[in-house]
Amino acid sequence: MKSFDAIVIGGGQAGPFLAARMVEKGMKVALIERKFLGGTCVNAGCMPTKTLVASARAAHVARSGAVYGVNIPGEIAIDMKVVRARAEAVTMNARNGLIGWFAGMDGMTVIYGHARFEDPKTVSVNGETLTAPRIFLNVGARPVIPDLPGINDIDYLTSTSIIHLDTLPRHLAVIGGSYIGLEFAQMYRRFGAEVSVIEHGPKLASREDEDISDAIADVLRSEGIDIHTGVSDIAFARSSDGITVATDSARIDASHVLIATGRKPNTDDLGLDAAGIITDKHGYITVDDKLATNVEGIWALGDCNGHGAFTHTSYNDFEIAAANLLDGDDRNLSSRIPAYALYIDPPLGRVGMTEKQARASGRKIMISTRPMSRVGRANERGETKGFMKVIADAETKKILGAAILGIEGDEVIHGIIDAMNAGTTYPALQWSVPIHPTVSELIPTLLGDLKPV
C-alpha cells in the first residue's frame, strides 16, 4: 500500500490546482485521472466548443460583410477538417501544458486509471492500493442519454463526440433546448447545416425569465434555425439517407442527431458505498458549506457535487477548499453568487436572481430593461439584438440579479458581478464614469431607470 498526504481523484478544474497548492506546502499528493487531465473544460467543453463558436462567428461575419461595405466574392466555404483541427490544437495545448506542469512538481504523482474506494481512507487503481488521510473527488459529469424510442437504433452525437466531426451535417437535429444544445445549434447553422432544435419544455433555456427565453428564440430563428418547444413525444428511426426524428408535431429528416438533454455526475462507479459517502437521488455527492462530504476527510469538488456545472464554479470550489484547509481562512459555498453565460451570438451574461426568483422571494423589487438597439456601441457594430435587464431590492438598494443578452453581454455582466460581490448599492454604481463608446457605459443608465413593480 502506498501512502500519501492527499489523494485527488479527477483531473478537472478544481482537483489539480488544489493538488498543486498542497505540493507547494510540502505534501505528497497522488492525482488520479482515468482519461485526460483538464476535465470537461479542456477536453470536451469550454475550450474546444468556444473555439468552434469562434470559427462559426468568423463564417457569419464573412457572409455579412456586404452590410459593412466589405464585399467578398464567391460563396463562403467551410473547411470542417481545419475547423476541427484548430479546436483540437487548443485542447492539446492546454492538456499538454498541465502534463508538463505536473511533471515538474516534486511530490506530485500522476496516475492514469480508474479509482475506486476500498474504505474511507483507501482507494485502488490499476491493481495498486493507495491511502491518505485526505481524499478529494473532482470526477466531473457526462452527457445524459434519455430512454427514447429508437435511440439505440441510431448513431447519435453527444456534446463530447460532436466536437470531433470533420464533415458538415446536412441537417442537424438537436434534442434539448438548453445551453449546450443552443450553442451547437447556432454554431452548425453558421457552418451551413440545416438545424432543428427539439425541446420538451415550453421554452428554450428553461431557467431564464420568459422574456429572455423568447429573445433567445428570436435570435436563433432569425438565422434560420427551426425551433420546436413543448414536444411531448420523440422517436427515432433510420432512414435511407439519415435519421427520421418523429415528434407529436413534426417529422424531421435529419442526417445527424445531437443529444443535449443534460449531464449526470460520474459517481456511479467509484465505490462510494465502500466509503459510506452519501449522494442525492441524481447521484450528486452531498456536501456541506465547506465542500466536505458526510465522511470525515473526504471532500467533493466541481460538477459532481451539484453546486454549479461550470468551470468557474469548479475552480471556485478549489479556492474555497484551499483557503479553508491551507490558508486558515473561513470561506463558504453559500456565499457564492451564481453567474454564467450562454455563448450564442449575441451572448447572454447572467448573475444572481431571475425576475421570477426575485418576485417569489417576497422582496419589494425594482426592474429596469433597455433594448440593445439603444446602445451606441451596438448600433456602431450593427449588432442590436437583445436587451439588458437588472433587478434590485427596493429597500436595501442592493442589486439582486441581471441579464444582458446582447453584444459582449458575457463581458459586460462582470461590472454587475463585481458590484454584487462587493455589496455595492445600485445608487453608488450609478455614479461610476464608464468609458465611451462601450456597452458597459449603459449600466449606470440602466440602473437609473429602475422602477418599482
Residues carrying an active site annotation:
436
From residue 436, how far is each of 124, 375, 409, 414 by CA, in Å? 59, 11, 16, 17
Residue 246: enclosing H or E segment and its boundaries?
strand 242-247
Cα 262 from Cα 306, distance rounded (Å): 13
Q: Facing residues of 9 across strands?
A: 32, 137
Phi and psi of 229, rounded to 5°? Answer: -115, 165
Task: Tell me the HSE value of 333 on the side-chain side, using a 13 A CA sphere.
Answer: 21
From residue 101, how far is each of 16, 43, 320 by CA, in Å? 10, 17, 22
Cα 177 from Cα 173, distance rounded (Å): 11
Q: Quick one: cell of 421?
A: 460581490
Q: Facing residues of 236 across strands?
A: 245
At a CB cut-off of 8 Å and minimum separation 6, what does 307 contact? 287, 313, 317, 333, 336
Task: Tell me the HSE value of 174 on the side-chain side, using a 13 A CA sphere.
Answer: 31
Q: Which of 25, 35, 23, 46 is nearest to 313 (CA)?
A: 46
